Amino acid sequence: MARFTDEQARFGKAMELMIDLHHQLKALHPKLIKVGSLSAAWYSEPLILKMAEIFHLTIPNFSPCLYFVENSIFRYRGEGETIIITRGGLTNFVEAMDSLKDDISTNVRVCFKIREIITVSHAQAQNASRLKWKVMKRSKSKKPHMVKCTIVSPIKKKAASTGEMSAYLEKRQMALNTVPATMDSFVLDGCDSRLGDVVRENYKILYAAHDYGSDSGRYVCPGYSEKSSSFFDVIAYLLIRYEWLFESFERAKVCKQCGKLFFEKRLGAREFCGGTCRKRYHDSLQAPEKRECRNRQNQWIGYQHNNVLGCPEVFRLQKDDCNQCTGTTPSGKCPALIKKNPKAYKFLNKLGE
């Protein structure tokens, strides 16, 4: 893996998780469907924990956090910061990742035109919290509960009241993290790509000003100025910050075989999402009879090694070994297989005498 800064390493891992989350959501619903008909499977615990890991890697002072099942809300930090998981936010996320894949497939360079980065202290960004939940202060005698994400079962009432929340936190000895000293935001001049269009159309906390132009605005760190953020607001900020850290989306690739997105740790090293797709792609470049013959020869030599006591180590045929093959050689009679396994054939020939 290339030498990354700590922040690049964290955002690179987060991008891997975002791509994996995108694949899982698409697998649950192969076709992008209407907002109102999403399945509850999109809110399953494994996917929620994956979201929490993405936030843990990228949002300052996110962990430890609470996730409230009944409200689909992440609760983090000590001043009422929340991330709301909505059906619209999830569909917008899927649409954004699909757009990124389309941009990569059509060789469109995704480049958010960042005019400036604004960093402010917490005191400057502080705003009234929408949810007045009281948080227990850290106890000096007892260690805080440091689990990254705690799943909270539904509380009696639909909306957790201050008293119920306080009682729960005291019972679990839970102390949420403090607000970071500084947070930042990006002022953009637009982004000429499909991904840029999706981000601009669906980002809610958008500070549009006359001097920014119609295709611009400010994209803020979660908890920067508004205590409550939607899931897609967070994803949009993470995509912009990722592109700023790596200067491109070149490490996000589209598999040549299956067409899925994957993250490349070492730039220029991979064209496929895994070994299975690489094998299928290269096999597709060879005549079917040659592939079948190679599989048959490998099965034969593998059977001898596994079932004949004392048989030496064997080496199986690869695609390049079959360039001169006609695809009609009987099992065990392949010249290339004999050449690669002289000790095994010598041993087997002695047994047959």
User: The tokens of 180 are what?
Assistant: 């970071």
Please report the pLDDT score of residue 21 as a whole number: 92
C-beta separation of 253 from 264 below 8 A: yes
Instruction: Count CB neighbours of 351 within 10 A.
Output: 11
Place of tokens 């192969």: 30
Between CA 285 and CA 282 the distance in angstroms is: 5
pLDDT tens digits, the chain, 353 residues: what are they?
Answer: 457 888 888 998 999 999 999 988 888 764 444 444 456 778 888 888 899 999 999 998 888 888 888 778 888 887 778 888 988 888 899 999 999 888 888 887 878 888 778 776 655 444 433 333 333 333 343 433 335 777 776 555 444 555 665 566 555 546 677 778 778 888 877 777 888 888 888 886 544 333 333 344 678 888 777 788 889 989 999 999 998 888 888 888 888 778 788 788 776 667 777 777 877 777 776 777 888 888 888 899 999 888 888 888 989 988 778 877 777 888 888 989 999 999 999 988 888 76
Please report the pLDDT score of residue 145 as a whole number: 38
Beta bridge partners of 262: 253
Would you say how long the chain is, in residues?
Answer: 353
Which of 189, 212, 178 minimizes the C-alpha distance to 61? 178
Chain mean pLDDT for the chain: 76
User: Phi/psi of residue 135, each to 5°?
Assistant: -115, 130
Please report the pLDDT score of residue 137 as a whole number: 36
> Is pTM, for the whole model, over 0.75?
no
Please report the pLDDT score of residue 27 as a whole number: 82
Please report the pLDDT score of residue 300 as a whole number: 92
Residue 198's identity, in one-letter code, is V
